[in-house]
């Protein structure tokens, strides 16, 4: 079997969406007539990753055996590493890897979690991840109203994000703590909560906010300081009792080890930003070896979400629920079986591959070929 064609495209979900809000998909077609779908990191509509796939990766993939996906990934990473191993390049590799796993599952007639060695669970709880749409500007009351809205989906936990402007650290420490306190009062003492600083604090401010979150009984404190200050992330993690998490902006297993060695005890690599399914399984092994929690970051509600669920299903120690960011159905329209939770759980289908199929007619209407 050979890879015959690599198709890359964005999907524009609503006619009024700006280009940066598009999703970036890849579909890899094999000589057997079977194809697989993957997704790249959505930053700026994923256009940079799709361009790298088209120009620099597709020529090397055509004619290759899709079952050699791990070899292909490592070969392309090393060949193209000077394009920058962080971001657009690893997003491109992630999309290809997910598509090739989907293809492999369809070829072998098995869901991906079976090919990973089996599922510990196929019903997966989730946490509602609340941010974007002006999260920074919401006042205490508005934050509480959004939380109330998301509680209707029966999440196992809630994470409030602060989507800070990274050039303006420590902007409103008192206000942030007030919001954390208001949400705690709203949900009661026992409901699991997380606080995502989105890299918004200096070290001292992060420790101060972390202490307040400990008092409020928060479950974890995400990305308190700039992601590139790895040793400082570790310093904050070591200074606090609350679990400090980071890693959604970590793009290689080596960088993940740096974060762990710095002192971070819960890491959050993202399947569409680094490594795809192959990469996340490597991260799982690294975390297992270091005794660190792996709780993948994931904000894309269809392909990325399904790929992530297969990983979380196959992971022995799932200490936290899976992230679920966008509860709207607007990105379900091109799939005949989009993932939707029932009674607080996502159920993984036992169909081959990712378990997702396009409705071609709906896809065509929204599809924009990548350049």
> For binding to Ca ion (CB under 5 A), which residues are involved?
196, 222
How far is residue 369's CA from residue 301's CA, in Å, rounded to a whole number?
A: 21
Question: 39 vs 196, which CB is nearer to Ca ion?
Answer: 196
Q: Give the nearest residue (CB) to Ca ion.
A: 196
* Shortest reach from residue 177's CB to Ca ion, in Å: 18
Question: 218 vs 358, which CB is nearer to Ca ion?
Answer: 218
Our CA angle for 272, 361, 113, nearest 5°, is 35
* Shortest reach from residue 199's CB to Ca ion, in Å: 9
* Shortest reach from residue 304's CB to Ca ion, in Å: 14
Question: 220 vs 358, which CB is nearer to Ca ion?
Answer: 220
Question: 36 vs 91, which CB is nearer to Ca ion?
Answer: 91
Our CA angle for 121, 122, 123, nearest 5°, is 95
Helices 173-187 and 140-151: crossing angle in degrees, nearest 10, is 40
How far is residue 242's CA from residue 16's CA, in Å, rounded to a whole number?
A: 41
* Shortest reach from residue 196's CB to Ca ion, in Å: 4
Question: 247 vs 353, which CB is nearer to Ca ion?
Answer: 247
In angstroms, the first-to-last Cα distance of the chain is 27
How far is residue 249's CA from residue 360's CA, in Å, rounded to a whole number?
A: 33
Q: What is the dihedral of CA 262, 267, 270, 276, to 10 degrees?
A: 90
Question: 102 vs 196, which CB is nearer to Ca ion?
Answer: 196
Question: 130 vs 303, which CB is nearer to Ca ion?
Answer: 130
* Shortest reach from residue 248's CB to Ca ion, in Å: 5
Length of the chain: 371
* Shortest reach from residue 333's CB to Ca ion, in Å: 27
Please choose, from the candidates 177, 40, 42, 195, the residue with its C-alpha nearest in 3D space to the C-alpha of residue 127. Answer: 195
Per-residue tokens: 361: 């007619």
The secondary element (H helix, E strand) that includes residue 209 is helix 203-215
How far is residue 87's CA from residue 277's CA, in Å, rounded to a whole number?
A: 16
Question: Which is it for strands 367-369 and 3-11: parallel, antiparallel or unpaired?
Answer: antiparallel
Question: 196 vs 235, which CB is nearer to Ca ion?
Answer: 196
The dihedrals phi and psi of 323, each to the nearest 5 degrees, come to: -75, 140
The secondary element (H helix, E strand) that includes residue 204 is helix 203-215
* Shortest reach from residue 272's CB to Ca ion, in Å: 14
* Shortest reach from residue 198's CB to Ca ion, in Å: 6
């Amino acid at each position: 079997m050979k890879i015959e064609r690599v198709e890359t495209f964005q999907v524009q979900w609503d006619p009024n969406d700006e280009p940066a809000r598009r999703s970036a998909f890849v579909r890899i077609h094999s000589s057997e007539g079977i194809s697989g779908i993957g997704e790249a990191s959505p930053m700026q509509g994923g256009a940079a990753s799709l361009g790298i796939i088209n120009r620099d990766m597709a020529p090397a993939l055509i004619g290759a055996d899709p079952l050699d996906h791990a070899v292909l990934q490592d070969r392309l990473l090393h060949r193209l590493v000077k394009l920058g191993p962080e971001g657009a390049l690893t997003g491109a590799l992630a999309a290809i890897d997910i598509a090739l796993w989907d293809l492999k599952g369809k070829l072998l007639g098995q869901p991906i979690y079976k090919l990973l060695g089996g599922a510990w669970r196929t019903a997966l709880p989730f946490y509602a991840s609340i941010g974007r749409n002006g999260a920074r500007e919401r006042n205490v009351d508005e934050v509480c109203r959004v939380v109330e809205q998301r509680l209707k989906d029966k999440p196992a936990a809630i994470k409030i994000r602060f989507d800070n402007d990274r050039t303006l650290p420590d902007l409103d420490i008192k206000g942030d703590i007030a919001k954390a306190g208001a949400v705690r009062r709203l949900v009661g003492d026992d409901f699991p909560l997380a606080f995502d600083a989105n890299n918004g604090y200096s070290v001292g401010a992060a420790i101060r906010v972390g202490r307040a979150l400990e008092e409020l009984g928060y479950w974890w404190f995400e990305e308190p300081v700039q992601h590139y200050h790895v040793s400082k992330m570790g310093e904050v993690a070591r200074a606090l009792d609350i679990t400090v998490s980071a890693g959604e902006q970590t793009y290689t297993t080596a960088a993940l080890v740096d974060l762990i060695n710095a002192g971070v005890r819960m890491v959050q690599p993202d399947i569409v930003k680094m490594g795809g399914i192959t990469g996340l399984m490597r991260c799982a092994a690294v975390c297992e070896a270091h005794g660190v929690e792996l709780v993948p970051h994931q904000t894309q509600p269809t392909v990325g979400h399904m790929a992530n669920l297969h990983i979380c299903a196959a992971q022995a120690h799932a200490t936290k629920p899976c992230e679920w960011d966008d509860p709207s159905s607007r990105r379900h329209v091109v799939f005949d079986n989009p993932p939707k939770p029932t009674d607080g759980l996502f159920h993984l289908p036992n169909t081959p591959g990712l378990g997702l199929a396009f409705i071609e007619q709906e896809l065509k209407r929204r599809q924009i070929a990548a350049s």
